Amino acid sequence: MYGDAIRLSSQEFETPVNVNDYYELSIRRHTSGGCSPYSIAHKVKVAISNVVLSPTGQQAYAASFILDEVKNCAYGQLVDSCKADLALDAAFQRSQLSLLSHIKPRTVGTCSVAMIATILQQIEPAEKQTRLISCVQSLDGKELAVEFSLSDDESRLLLNKVY
Protein backbone atom coordinates (compact mmCIF):
# COMPACT_ATOMS: atom_id res chain seq x y z
CA MET A 1 0.00 0.00 0.00
CA TYR A 2 1.32 3.43 -0.89
CA GLY A 3 0.56 6.66 0.87
CA ASP A 4 1.78 9.35 3.17
CA ALA A 5 0.89 9.89 6.80
CA ILE A 6 -0.47 13.35 7.37
CA ARG A 7 -0.62 14.78 10.88
CA LEU A 8 -3.01 17.59 11.60
CA SER A 9 -3.04 19.70 14.70
CA SER A 10 -6.26 20.58 16.48
CA GLN A 11 -5.54 24.23 15.64
CA GLU A 12 -6.49 23.51 12.03
CA PHE A 13 -10.08 22.70 13.05
CA GLU A 14 -12.97 24.56 14.60
CA THR A 15 -12.71 24.45 18.36
CA PRO A 16 -13.29 22.31 20.24
CA VAL A 17 -12.11 19.11 18.60
CA ASN A 18 -13.26 16.13 20.60
CA VAL A 19 -12.03 12.58 20.55
CA ASN A 20 -14.08 10.53 18.07
CA ASP A 21 -15.25 13.53 16.04
CA TYR A 22 -15.44 12.69 12.35
CA TYR A 23 -14.33 15.10 9.63
CA GLU A 24 -14.53 14.88 5.87
CA LEU A 25 -11.22 16.13 4.48
CA SER A 26 -9.89 16.89 1.03
CA ILE A 27 -6.11 17.04 0.99
CA ARG A 28 -4.28 18.81 -1.82
CA ARG A 29 -0.71 17.87 -2.67
CA HIS A 30 1.54 20.72 -3.74
CA THR A 31 4.03 19.81 -6.44
CA SER A 32 5.84 23.13 -6.37
CA GLY A 33 7.61 22.40 -3.08
CA GLY A 34 7.55 24.62 -0.03
CA CYS A 35 7.48 23.91 3.68
CA SER A 36 4.57 21.51 3.58
CA PRO A 37 3.77 19.43 0.52
CA TYR A 38 0.10 19.19 1.61
CA SER A 39 -2.73 21.52 2.50
CA ILE A 40 -6.32 20.97 3.53
CA ALA A 41 -8.57 22.07 0.69
CA HIS A 42 -11.85 21.20 2.40
CA LYS A 43 -12.81 20.20 5.95
CA VAL A 44 -16.30 19.66 7.27
CA LYS A 45 -17.30 18.05 10.54
CA VAL A 46 -19.59 15.10 9.89
CA ALA A 47 -22.73 15.85 11.85
CA ILE A 48 -26.21 14.45 11.35
CA SER A 49 -29.20 16.02 13.06
CA ASN A 50 -30.00 14.25 16.37
CA VAL A 51 -27.54 11.43 15.64
CA VAL A 52 -24.64 10.73 18.02
CA LEU A 53 -21.66 8.97 16.41
CA SER A 54 -19.64 8.17 19.53
CA PRO A 55 -21.14 6.55 22.62
CA THR A 56 -20.22 7.64 26.12
CA GLY A 57 -18.83 5.00 28.46
CA GLN A 58 -22.21 4.62 30.13
CA GLN A 59 -24.01 4.26 26.79
CA ALA A 60 -21.50 1.65 25.56
CA TYR A 61 -21.92 -0.28 28.82
CA ALA A 62 -25.72 -0.28 28.51
CA ALA A 63 -25.55 -1.18 24.81
CA SER A 64 -23.33 -4.17 25.54
CA PHE A 65 -25.97 -5.62 27.89
CA ILE A 66 -28.76 -5.04 25.36
CA LEU A 67 -26.72 -6.69 22.60
CA ASP A 68 -25.81 -9.62 24.87
CA GLU A 69 -29.51 -10.33 25.49
CA VAL A 70 -30.28 -9.95 21.78
CA LYS A 71 -27.40 -12.27 20.86
CA ASN A 72 -28.53 -14.96 23.30
CA CYS A 73 -32.10 -14.70 22.06
CA ALA A 74 -31.08 -14.73 18.38
CA TYR A 75 -28.69 -17.63 18.91
CA GLY A 76 -31.48 -19.64 20.51
CA GLN A 77 -29.95 -19.87 23.96
CA LEU A 78 -33.13 -18.46 25.46
CA VAL A 79 -36.71 -19.51 24.87
CA ASP A 80 -38.64 -17.96 21.98
CA SER A 81 -40.59 -15.79 24.39
CA CYS A 82 -37.38 -13.82 24.99
CA LYS A 83 -38.13 -11.70 21.92
CA ALA A 84 -40.93 -9.99 23.83
CA ASP A 85 -38.53 -9.02 26.63
CA LEU A 86 -35.79 -7.45 24.49
CA ALA A 87 -35.05 -3.71 24.56
CA LEU A 88 -36.11 -3.12 20.96
CA ASP A 89 -37.46 0.05 19.41
CA ALA A 90 -40.88 -0.29 17.76
CA ALA A 91 -39.20 0.42 14.39
CA PHE A 92 -36.71 -2.47 14.76
CA GLN A 93 -37.11 -5.16 12.11
CA ARG A 94 -37.06 -8.51 13.90
CA SER A 95 -35.57 -10.13 10.79
CA GLN A 96 -32.31 -8.36 11.74
CA LEU A 97 -31.99 -10.38 14.97
CA SER A 98 -30.07 -13.11 13.13
CA LEU A 99 -27.37 -10.57 12.19
CA LEU A 100 -26.51 -10.27 15.89
CA SER A 101 -26.16 -13.98 16.69
CA HIS A 102 -22.36 -14.02 16.24
CA ILE A 103 -21.16 -10.82 17.89
CA LYS A 104 -18.96 -9.95 20.86
CA PRO A 105 -21.35 -7.72 22.85
CA ARG A 106 -18.65 -6.36 25.16
CA THR A 107 -16.84 -4.74 22.22
CA VAL A 108 -19.38 -1.93 21.78
CA GLY A 109 -17.64 1.32 20.94
CA THR A 110 -17.03 3.98 18.37
CA CYS A 111 -17.13 2.94 14.72
CA SER A 112 -14.03 3.03 12.58
CA VAL A 113 -13.70 5.68 9.90
CA ALA A 114 -14.10 2.97 7.24
CA MET A 115 -17.41 1.84 8.75
CA ILE A 116 -18.72 5.40 9.08
CA ALA A 117 -17.83 6.02 5.43
CA THR A 118 -19.70 2.83 4.49
CA ILE A 119 -22.93 3.60 6.38
CA LEU A 120 -22.96 7.41 6.22
CA GLN A 121 -25.34 7.54 3.25
CA GLN A 122 -27.74 5.15 5.02
CA ILE A 123 -28.01 7.19 8.22
CA GLU A 124 -31.10 9.37 8.16
CA PRO A 125 -31.36 12.50 10.33
CA ALA A 126 -33.66 12.00 13.30
CA GLU A 127 -36.42 14.58 13.54
CA LYS A 128 -37.52 13.98 17.11
CA GLN A 129 -35.69 11.25 18.97
CA THR A 130 -31.91 11.20 19.33
CA ARG A 131 -30.18 8.11 17.97
CA LEU A 132 -26.80 6.62 18.78
CA ILE A 133 -24.62 4.84 16.22
CA SER A 134 -22.01 2.46 17.63
CA CYS A 135 -20.14 -0.58 16.42
CA VAL A 136 -19.56 -4.07 17.74
CA GLN A 137 -17.19 -6.78 16.55
CA SER A 138 -18.41 -10.07 15.19
CA LEU A 139 -16.76 -13.34 16.16
CA ASP A 140 -14.82 -13.33 12.88
CA GLY A 141 -13.36 -9.89 13.66
CA LYS A 142 -15.55 -7.83 11.32
CA GLU A 143 -17.20 -4.62 12.46
CA LEU A 144 -20.98 -4.31 12.59
CA ALA A 145 -22.76 -0.97 13.03
CA VAL A 146 -25.85 -0.80 15.23
CA GLU A 147 -28.21 2.06 15.95
CA PHE A 148 -29.98 2.72 19.23
CA SER A 149 -32.72 5.21 19.98
CA LEU A 150 -32.17 7.28 23.13
CA SER A 151 -34.93 8.34 25.49
CA ASP A 152 -35.40 12.08 26.00
CA ASP A 153 -33.37 12.06 29.21
CA GLU A 154 -30.82 9.68 27.59
CA SER A 155 -31.30 7.15 30.38
CA ARG A 156 -32.70 4.34 28.21
CA LEU A 157 -31.43 2.75 25.01
CA LEU A 158 -33.52 0.72 22.58
CA LEU A 159 -32.03 -1.22 19.66
CA ASN A 160 -33.32 0.40 16.49
CA LYS A 161 -31.36 -0.89 13.49
CA VAL A 162 -28.44 -3.01 12.29
CA TYR A 163 -26.41 -1.73 9.34
Mean pLDDT of the chain: 84
Q: What is the 3-state secondary structure (H, E, C) of the chain?
A: CCCCCCCCCHHHCCCCCCCCCCEEEEEEECCCCCCCCEEEEEEEECCECCEECCCCHHHHHHHHHHHHHHHHHHCCCCCHHHHHHCCECCCCCHHHHHHHCCEEEEEEECCCHHHHHHHHHHCCCCCCCCEEEEEEEECCCCEEEEEEEECCCCCCEEEEEEC
- Residue 15 confidence class, pLDDT cut points 50, 70, 90: low
pLDDT by residue (tens digit) across 104-152?
999 999 999 889 889 988 988 878 889 999 999 999 999 999 999 998 8
Percent of the chain with pLDDT over 70: 88
Domain spans of the chain, in order of start:
10-45, 51-162
pLDDT above 70 (res 19): no
pLDDT for residue 1: 42
Q: Per-residue pLDDT for 63 more than 70? A: yes
pLDDT, position 149: 94
Q: Return the pLDDT at 4.
A: 63
pLDDT for residue 89 is more than 70: yes
The answer to whether residue 34 scores a pLDDT higher than 80 is no
Q: Which residue has the higher pLDDT, 101 or 127?
A: 101
pLDDT value of position 110: 92
Look up the pTM and report it. Answer: 0.76
